[in-house]
Amino acid sequence: MFLEVLSVLVAVRLVGAITAPIMDCDETFNYLEPLHYLLFHNGLQPWEYSPAFALRSYSYLAYHAAVLYPLQMIFSADKVS
């Protein structure tokens, strides 16, 4: 009984995580945009990360960038010929 209930709950959570759009703009502009900026050296830099204010640290993003950088080097195609 426990495993059936647990598997239903996990399935519901997975469907929700896969199909739900990003509802909070902070998720995009405070984490995904600076991560893109670290990986591709272009993009938006929120004011919290800018050197003038430096309210947020890049240390959390650097962990994700370290994981994604090798993948970006392997699978990224040069868009400029």
The Cα 72–Cα 47 span in angstroms is: 25
| pLDDT the model gives residue 77 | 63
Q: What is the pTM of this model?
A: 0.60
The Cα 7–Cα 18 span in angstroms is: 16
The Cα 70–Cα 52 span in angstroms is: 30
In 10 A of CB 34, how many CB atoms?
A: 22
Sequential pLDDT tens for the chain (81 residues): 999 999 999 999 999 888 887 767 776 778 888 888 888 888 888 888 888 888 888 888 899 999 988 888 887 766 665
| pLDDT the model gives residue 20 | 80
Encode burial over 37-59: b for 16+ CB neighbours within 10 A, e otherwise: bbbeeeeeebeebeeeeeebeee
